[in-house]
Amino acid sequence: MSNSKFARKGCRECYACVRVCPADAIVIKGGQADILADRCIFCGRCSKACPQHYRVEKMSISAVKEFIKSGENVIASVAPSFASAFGNQSLKIPAVLRTLGFTHVEDSGITTKPIFDIYNTYADKDDNKNYITSMCPTIDHLIQKHYPELTESIIPVVPPFISHGRFLKHKYGADSKVVFIGPCVAKKTDATKEICVDEVLTFYELQKWIKSENLNLDDFPIEPFDYVCNDKILFPIPGETADFLEKKNPKKTVFCVDGIEDCKSVLNSIRNGKFENTFFEMNACSHGCLYGSDLDKDDRCFFEVKRDLINNKQKYIDLFQANAVDNPYQDIALDVLLYKEYPPKPFHLEQPTEYEIREILKTMGKTVRSDELNCGSCGYHTCREKAVAVFNGLAEPSMCLPYMRNRAESLSNLICESSPNLIGLVDKDLMILELNPAAESFFKIQKDEANGMPLGMYLDDEEFERVRTFRKNVRNEKITFKEYDDSTLLQTIYWLEQNQMFLWLAVDITKDEKAAKKLQTLKIETVEMAQQVIAKQMTVAQEIASLLGETTAETKVTLTKLKNFILDEEGDE
């Protein structure tokens, strides 16, 4: 299994690429998207759908500039659908390309006649088999990888851009550099396997290159390609090939099919034996190459683009009729090999058992058939198809958006329901949307009783108005409710601009406040008691000191008397 990295940094788990991929070639691992190259048909839908604008294929502008810078012989092979990208300015493109440095500029459509001759041979076969054109690389990959049993129906001839590349290499030499410029990314992949096309630019890349060089198409003259061909077949328009073949009165029924969905539907019918002796012109893009996979769509509808292509083609021939030739490569056509094989390249998914499917479905919260919504939000048509992808490592259970949403809602509800904090949602008109059980218990109301009621019945709504007006959220604001047993809350108010509602969070700190007040009272009482004790101690000390003073004086008098008495007696003796 070969994965081609598509998106890592910035991938948002939106699964847009999975939903649009017609080949189930997107792998989701760790929430990130990769491309399974073994299943990819290079239709470019994932790049267009990606909101981060990731591209599957690399840009080739730098490589082509290096060719030109090196002084090599660089030839531009331009797809005839270029009018779909450049509109009324299309006839300026040859001059622009020469200014950019290309030594030769040719319309790749001038080599389609040999291919159409081969198609006509197969359309005229009376062998009861079905045949499919090989002009569209995406269709070739689709059949090879997803309908491998039908590869024998692909006509074994190269697409026009490869045939033109081979003619150019034959004419200008193998060392010359051939750059194909066209509308789709699939040709980039096919060109890497061919030695006749060195690089592929899409019209989108050419437009970016022209813009980066500050070139204005209005400043350029109308110039012809190196060859002006009388061939008026406009094969980029779906149905043109079929019309050409029908004019030859072939033995097979000829149908034109465009758009991957219709092509897959027809291929399924061919697989089931619903067609025989039929020739199919198939184009992966709706409206064919005029709406190629890497075209930057403007405001023109398909019929405007078709008109511009027809008008430009006719105007081009009218302007340069004197230089026109029927087939510029007629002399070397027989020397160029146009044969190409399209071998089957199947990639089979492992099929889980019914038990394994049920076990995978359980991981997505689907325990009974009614849980299988088949909503397609994950990119798979059914939940069981998604389970098969999970079994093969292509998808993850978390891609089920309804399941993840329900799970997230359940977790959110569980948190809100069990939280001891007060939580509420209030709309922009200051009407209560919802209160959690803790809030309902605080306001002494029944379940859902407050829903739809004015906020002012329970809280000061002026504070909410200020939050919305000044876009300044309130955090940890202390409020007291006399009517609710002198309760105190610490409230936070958020204005949710995207949702146009308020989120109200509050913590009941009544017990803490009462405990704090009680502690403060106790502190004051303790201080007062200490003061009283100190006062009493001072009084006692003073009384003791007074008593000690009196007794000391009396003692002194008594001892003095005793001393004098003794001295008097000794004197007498």
- Residues 276 and 133 both lie in one domain: yes
pLDDT(15) > 60: yes
What CATH number has the domain bearing residue 17?
3.30.70.20
Q: Would residue 377 count as lying in a domain?
A: no
- Residues 76 and 50 both lie in one domain: no
* DSSP codes, 224-241: --S-EE-----TTSTTHH
Spatial contact of 473 and 495, defined as CB atoms under 8 Å apart: yes
- Residues 163 and 291 both lie in one domain: yes
- Residues 217 and 331 both lie in one domain: yes
pLDDT(409) > 80: no
Query: Does the global pTM surpass 0.75?
Result: no
20-39 average pLDDT score: 88
The range of the structural domain enclosing residue 25 comes to: 1-56
Q: Number of structural domains, the chain?
A: 4
pLDDT(3) > 60: no
**pLDDT tens digits along 344-360:** 999 888 889 999 999 99
What is the side-by-side order of every strand in the sheet holding 3-5? 3-5, 32-36, 26-29
Quick check: helix, strand or coil at residue 104?
strand
- Residues 76 and 214 both lie in one domain: yes
- Residues 244 and 127 both lie in one domain: yes
CA nearest to 311, candidates 237, 238, 225, 244: 237
- Residues 174 and 305 both lie in one domain: yes
Position 408 scores a pLDDT of 60
- Residues 305 and 452 both lie in one domain: no
- Residues 493 and 535 both lie in one domain: no
Pick 150 or 413 by higher pLDDT. Answer: 150
What CATH number has the domain bearing residue 100?
3.40.50.1780
- Residues 11 and 32 both lie in one domain: yes
Position 482 scores a pLDDT of 83
**pLDDT tens digits along 255-278:** 999 999 999 999 999 999 999 999
Q: Would residue 441 count as lying in a domain?
A: yes
- Residues 147 and 17 both lie in one domain: no
Position 265 scores a pLDDT of 97
Q: Would residue 21 count as lying in a domain?
A: yes
- Residues 248 and 266 both lie in one domain: yes
Rounded-to-integer distance, Cα 517 and Cα 511, Å: 10
Position 567 scores a pLDDT of 72
pLDDT(300) > 70: yes
